[in-house]
Amino acid sequence: MIDLLLLFKGFGTVLSGYNGVALLLGSFFGIIIGAIPGLTATMGIALLVPFTFGMTPITGIVMLLGIYTGAIYGGGIASILIKTPGTPAAMATTYDGYPMAQKGLAGKAIGIATISSGVGGTFTAVCLAFFAPILANFALRFSAPEYFALAVFGLSVTITLSGRSPVKGFISGTLGLLVAMVGLDPMGGFQRFTFGRSELTGGLSFVPMLIGLFALSEGFRQVEIIFSAPKVNVVIRNILPRLSDLKSCLSAYIRACPIGLIVGITPAIGADTSAFVSYAETKRSSKHPEKFGTGVPEGVAAAQCGENASTGGDVLPMITLGIPGDAATAVLMGALTIHNLQPGPMLFKNQPEVVHEIFAGMILANITFVVLGLIFARFFAQVINLDRKYLTPVIFICCMVGSYAINNVFYDLVTCVVCGFIGYLMIRYDFPVAPMVLAQILGGMMESNFRRALVMSRGDPLIFLTRPITVTILVLATVTTIVAVRRQLQALRQAEAAAMAENVD
Amino acid sequence: MVRKFDIGVAAALIVISVAVYWESLSMPPAFYDPIGPAAFPRALSVTICFLSIILIINAFRLPSGKSIQATRQPSHRLRADLTVGSAILTGIYTLLLTLRQLSFAVSTTVYLISFILLLMPFDRRRLLYAIIIASVMGFGGGYIFTHVFYIDLP
């Protein structure tokens, strides 16, 4: 169960000294990252992880949580003002946010988006604080077969739900697994695929690879579309919404909060799905669904609330089981590991005070971006107009400095640049990047636990079919994979048919 | 273009999977556990090979002339030439840092000026902006990285 005393101590720690400043800076920078179309929360975290090395673990983690929640919220600002989502998750906000801005209600839309994001994010952060200790306590019963099954589940769902082509998703995932094989064999310590290079003994450097795949690749992508940046030319006033406006959004909050939490917990689907499902559900249950899409505050509230409500759900499996739900939490997990905090049930047992500080940080991060969002709304709107011809090269420099800073070796610099270009090609040609990174994290866990389980059973593979939790998770993984692959194949066939019909025309 | 890329990737992956399988043959037999260190890499190489063949088959199934990807292209023109240019510049910058011929501040300033000028048509005003931003980032950024964030620079 949650330890309220530790949680309140956590609030004190997060608000004291440098931690509070780090949270403010993280949130501020996160909103800026989110507001600029093309820059994502994952990129923001990956970019700034190395800058937290000189900080204490909790200061660094709090700053990254601020970036994470701030960037997810910030995506909505660009959606409202220029109909281009700042982050992919904010697409649903364009439906009613942009029409509101067109009616001269940009300030009101931003105000509602800010408070709705805060409501969703705070709800889910509180749920995280309450449910995570229970799940972690349950996970203490897990052994090697269960962890293997969890890794298979996380991996299969991630692969099948990321991207549009299941084959490309699987290829990306298996390549990630292959990268995870580089280094020392987890059981015998035998060197695999190191080609005699001492730098590869510990495996491919994870953070430079992350920075390359998520930040530098996006930088290359930004260069490609450098001349397509739209400008903000609407007036923003009356940002603070009236109480009556918020009352009308209450039904949207009641639906979006639990939807966001559940969607967030499900691996591979995060803020974007949550926002769409919340929007659709609020529209379906509304008394006037025909008004949705024309600029109603409930539409903005549902999308933004659902979007941020997924953040706590995304963090839950990562912190309790060590299984990241999406790319952003994979990067967060990497950051925790760098600060010597290994996510999983043992973290709750060995360092409960740190866990509660993270919970407190997550709750406060959601409150911080609301305050900053309401005060600096006009500034964040102007950030969208930043000339990317100057900004993009600076992002490149941050990527390079960050990847070098981890081990102070040039080999990491090369890893970052190579992974950056590979990531760019993957994005350009429809290969999802997230499965590759998640597979690299889960690959080691999968192999070592599979082999440990076989040692436990003296080589009998039936161990995976005789333990109830393992069987349940493996059946879930199989069913989810089959359903997802079938859906994707259907969608692909429809797209093929449409493309062929277009060719005939 | 997508079709050609997919086929190229699939061919490269088949070569990689054969190399992985070949390398796994030199790994020691199972000693500490029933399957040994070579089992997972072998299974992965077979899986990658299989998936690559499916990718090739799928690529040939795409309607010729216009791919599914092409139907999703954005309205604005993509500047892949600029991306290649930026990749080359970044490669040279990495090489300069690795060879340690120039200091971080100087190489970063030169890199940023070249990069910014690559992205926009040349004129005096823009050159001035580029020099200011590059110098601030190269010299000022270097100071912030080392003295505020305690990061060792290349």
Distances in Å between the Cα of A178 and the Cα atoms of A171, A434, B17 are 10, 15, 10
Q: Using one digit for the tens of pLDDT, what is the confidence trace for A370-418?
A: 999 999 999 998 888 888 888 889 889 988 888 888 788 888 899 999 9
Report CA-CA distances (Å) from A297 to A105, A142, A251, A291: 10, 45, 12, 10
Question: Where do the DSSP E strands lie in A316-435?
Answer: none
Lowest mean pLDDT among A55-64, A151-160, A462-471: A151-160
Q: Between A476 and A161, where is the model more confident?
A: A476
User: CB B40 to CB A397 under 8 A?
Assistant: no
Total structural domains in chain A?
Answer: 1
Mutate to test the interface with B, among A49, A174, A492 (most CBs of B within 10 A): A174
Within 10 Å of residue B74's Cβ, how many Cβ atoms?
A: 8
pLDDT at res. A7: 92
Query: Binning pLDDT at 50, 70 and 90, where does residue B68 land?
Result: very low
CA-wise closest residue to A282 among A309, A313, A242, A244: A309
User: Residue A409 is part of which domain span?
Assistant: 4-504
> Does the CB of B21 have a partner CB in chain A at under 8 Å?
no
Indicate the burial class of A396 (C-beta count within 10 angstroms; 0-12, 13-18, 19 or more). buried
- Answer whether B7 touches A (CB < 8 Å): no
**E-strand stretches of A323-454:** none
Q: What pLDDT score does A163 carry?
A: 66
Residue B45 has pLDDT above 80, yes or no: yes
- From A110's Cα to the closest Cα of chain B, the distance in A is 27
Following DSSP, what letter does each residue of A119-141 receive, concatenated?
Answer: HHHHHHHHHHHHHHHHHHHHHTT
In percent, how much of chain B has pLDDT > 70? 89
Kindly report the CA angle at B135 between B132 and B140, in degrees rounded to 5?
Answer: 120
Q: Do A178 and B67 touch (CB under 8 A)?
A: no
Contact criterion met (CB < 8 Å) for B51 and A421: no
Residue among B46, B40, B11 at smallest CA distance from B27: B40
Please give the backbone phi and psi of residue A184, each rounded to the nearest 5 degrees, phi first: -85, 140
Q: Are B25 and B85 in contact (CB under 8 A)?
A: no
Dist. CA A297–CA A232, nearest whole Å: 21
pLDDT in tens, A216-248: 998 898 888 877 767 777 778 888 888 888 898
pLDDT tier, A496 (very low <50, low <70, confident <90, very high otherwise): confident
CA-based diameter of chain A, in Å? 71
Q: Picking from A12-21, A161-170, A259-268, A325-334, which range would have the lowest pLDDT averaged per residue?
A: A161-170
Torsion of CA A56, A60, A65, A71, to 10 degrees: 160
Is B37 close to A224, i.e. CB distance below 8 A? no
- Span A196-213, mean pLDDT? 86
Query: What does the block give as tokens for A223?
Result: 């260069």
User: How far apart are the C-alpha atoms of A366 and A31, rounded to whole Å?
Assistant: 12
Report CB contact under 8 Å: A429, B5.
yes
A34 pLDDT exceeds 70?
A: yes
* Closest Cβ–Cβ partner in B36, B51, B58 for A174: B51
pLDDT above 70 covers a percentage of chain A that reads 98
Among B residues 49-108, those touching chain A with beta carbons less than 8 Å apart: 51-52, 54-55, 58, 61-71, 74, 76-80, 82-83, 86-87, 90-91, 93-94, 97-98, 108
- Model-level pTM? 0.85
Give the residue among A71, A70, A111, A109 at the shortest CA–CA distance from A93.
A109
| pLDDT tens, residue by residue, A75-118 | 999 999 988 887 877 889 999 999 999 888 999 999 999 999 99
Task: Name every residue whose Cβ is closer than 8 Å to that of residue A465 and which is 6 or more positions away in sequence.
Answer: A471
Chosen for mutation from A83, A404, A450 (greatest number of chain B CBs closer than 10 Å) is A404
Q: What was the ipTM of the complex prediction?
A: 0.87
Q: Do A167 and B54 touch (CB under 8 A)?
A: yes
